[in-house]
């Protein structure tokens, strides 16, 4: 993978997202060892500090954990955590967009709620 240098997403965030995608695709397994920041830097031709920052984000999100002297490993329920977070983030973003559009169109809150309930019953 070559990172999108035109993206507004920083490269370290793209590193974190790539690792999450590897976990979702079962190419990085629960309790499995993850690439080191130096391996990632070599693979993607980026600065090791940038790769390290991507790994750190995933440690902070409790997707990865460190074993002193051994490296980084995938948390046992990392796939579930990623899916839960992405679903929540996606739905929140979509809901905000719907609410903003409804306001622009002058749709009342009650009407929007009724519309959502109607769609749920159909689906």
2 in any annotated domain: no
Q: Is residue 56 part of a domain?
A: yes
| Same-domain pairing of 72 and 15 | yes
Task: Please give the residue range of the domain that contains residue 115.
Answer: 79-122
Whether residue 39 lies inside any domain: the answer is: yes
If asked whether residues 20 and 44 sit together in one domain, one would say: yes
Distance CA 2, CA 15 (A): 10
Residue 15 · residue 40 · CB < 8 Å: yes
Q: In the chain, how many domains are there? A: 2
- According to the model, what pLDDT value does residue 2 have? 60
Q: Is the pLDDT of residue 119 over 70?
A: yes
CATH of the domain at 45: 1.10.10.10
Q: Note the pLDDT of residue 114.
A: 93
Whether 65 and 44 map to the same domain: the answer is yes
Q: Are 66 and 59 in contact (CB under 8 A)?
A: yes
* Judgement on whether residues 63 and 84 belong to the same structural domain of the protein: no
Say whether both 85 and 102 belong to one domain: yes
Same domain membership, residue 86 and residue 72: no
Q: Considering only 1-10, 42-51, 62-71, 75-84, which range has the smallest mean pLDDT?
A: 1-10
Contact 18, 56 (CB under 8 A): no
pLDDT tens across 65-74, in order?
A: 999 999 999 9
- Do 32 and 46 form a contact (C-beta atoms < 8 A)? no
Which pLDDT score is estimated for 10? Answer: 93
Do 31 and 72 fall into the same domain?
A: yes
DSSP state for residue 63 in the 8-state scheme: S
Q: How far apart are CA 53 and CA 120, in angstroms?
A: 41
The DSSP 8-state label assigned to residue 33 in this structure reads B
Q: How confident is the model over 23-60, as pLDDT tens digits?
A: 999 999 999 999 999 999 999 999 999 999 999 999 99
Same domain for 92 and 59?
Answer: no
Asked whether residue 28 falls in the same domain as residue 84, the answer is no
Query: Per-residue pLDDT for 21 more than 60?
Result: yes
């Amino acid at each position: 993978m070559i990172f999108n240098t035109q993206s507004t997403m920083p490269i370290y965030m793209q590193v974190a997202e790539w690792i999450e995608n590897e976990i979702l695709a079962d190419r990085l397994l629960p309790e499995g060892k993850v690439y080191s920041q130096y391996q990632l830097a070599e693979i993607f031709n980026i600065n090791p500090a940038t790769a390290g920052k991507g790994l750190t984000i995933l440690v902070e999100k409790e997707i990865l954990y460190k074993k002193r002297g051994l490296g980084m490993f995938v948390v046992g329920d990392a796939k579930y955590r990623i899916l839960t977070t992405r679903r929540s983030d996606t739905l929140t973003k979509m809901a905000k967009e719907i609410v903003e559009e409804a306001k622009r169109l002058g749709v009342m809150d009650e009407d929007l709620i009724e519309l959502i309930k109607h769609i749920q019953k159909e689906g």
